[in-house]
Homo-oligomer: A and B are copies of this chain.
Amino acid sequence: MDDRELLRSIAGIVGREKVLDDCASYPLGSKMIVASTDMLHESTDFPKGMTDRQIGWMSAAVTISDIASSGAAPLFILVAVGLDRPERLEGIMKGASECCEFYETEIRGGDIDSHDELTVVTTGFGIADEDCYITRSGCSPGDLVYILGNPGEAQAALEGDIRYWLSLVEPHPFVSEALLIAKAGASAMMDVSDGLALSLYDLADASGTGFEILAERIPLSPGVISEQALYGGGDFGLLFTCDPGMMPVPEVEAVCIGRVIDSPGVFLDGAAVERRGYLHRWEHKEDEV
């Protein structure tokens, strides 16, 4: 069982639409309130060598990215920290605070707890104009598929390419670009933090469509290979779909990598892409029971 299968198992309790998107939404007048929560912990989410400040930055960034990817301007975040050592709090809050400042948002509260393993849960709140709010489920056959940012850098760093270490530990989500894309009328959007392949499947599944992707179109940074770009997580590029007439959008340097098709599935140069990426696997734990 992986994350997504586990989520499907509770769809009957909380509703199918609640497990599809990274963001929850709530209409308020002509606005859409958007909220998203992310749980990170040391052993699986913070690569060895990160400073506490970087841990704080990354924790804020993942949530700010989710909020912006839905077309909402981040209003504020809350930070709950389960601390293995209390003296880590200061660095973590400094990093989170710097990230918020960079994206013109702020920390407005949180919670602390003692914990055997450092655990950081950030929750972000944002607000979108109703017609700018984007989910994963809006794409239709005929739309084009775009990516902004070069996927695979974080995975390359994990595999030792020091050039991309900062992309991994101090990710910079495309917040202003996400809002421009949303305003321009993109049909679906998400960040690729779980990996490009999995994100393509997420969009396709949520929208009830499929994708045809051209391998040569996927933008690769020097030394990054296609395997890392497709299946590595930890990048914060944007994946979105739109009507063929929408792009270009000023200040958005996105690349068209394919098109939305009628039939389900994600195909790269005609062959089905593996449905894998950054997923927690649960078998080990189940075996322990």
Which residues of A are in contact with B by a Cβ distance under 8 Å? Answer: 1, 3, 6-7, 9-10, 13-14, 18, 21-26, 28-29, 31, 33, 35-41, 44, 75-76, 78-87, 89-90, 93-94, 97, 107-117, 119, 121, 123, 125, 127, 280, 282, 285-286, 288-289
Contact with A37, one of B13, B97, B109 (Cβ below 8 angstroms): B109
Contacts of A1 in B (CB 8 A): 86
Check B37–A80 contact: CB distance below 8 A.
Answer: yes
Q: How far is the CA of A79 from the CA of B80 in the complex (A)?
A: 13
Q: A80-B37, A289-B85 are in contact. Are A14 and B97 (CB under 8 A)?
A: yes
Q: A93-B14, A282-B86 are in contact. Are A112 and B78 (CB under 8 A)?
A: no
Q: How far is the CA of A21 from the CA of B125 in the complex (A)?
A: 18
Check B285–A110 contact: CB distance below 8 A.
Answer: no
Please give me the residue from chain B that is nearest to A6 by CB atom.
B86
Check A35–B114 contact: CB distance below 8 A.
Answer: no
> A202 CB to closest chain B CB, in angstroms?
14
Contact with A13, one of B76, B84, B93, B123 (Cβ below 8 angstroms): B93
Contacts of A286 in B (CB 8 A): 85-87
Check B37–A78 contact: CB distance below 8 A.
Answer: yes
Contacts of A119 in B (CB 8 A): 39, 82, 115, 119
Q: How far is the CA of A94 from the CA of B125 in the complex (A)?
A: 25
Q: How far is the CA of A23 from the CA of B78 in the complex (A)?
A: 10
Check B76–A37 contact: CB distance below 8 A.
Answer: no
Contact with A93, one of B10, B38, B89, B97 (Cβ below 8 angstroms): B10
Q: How far is the CA of A277 from the CA of B153 in the complex (A)?
A: 48
Contacts of A33 in B (CB 8 A): 33, 75, 125
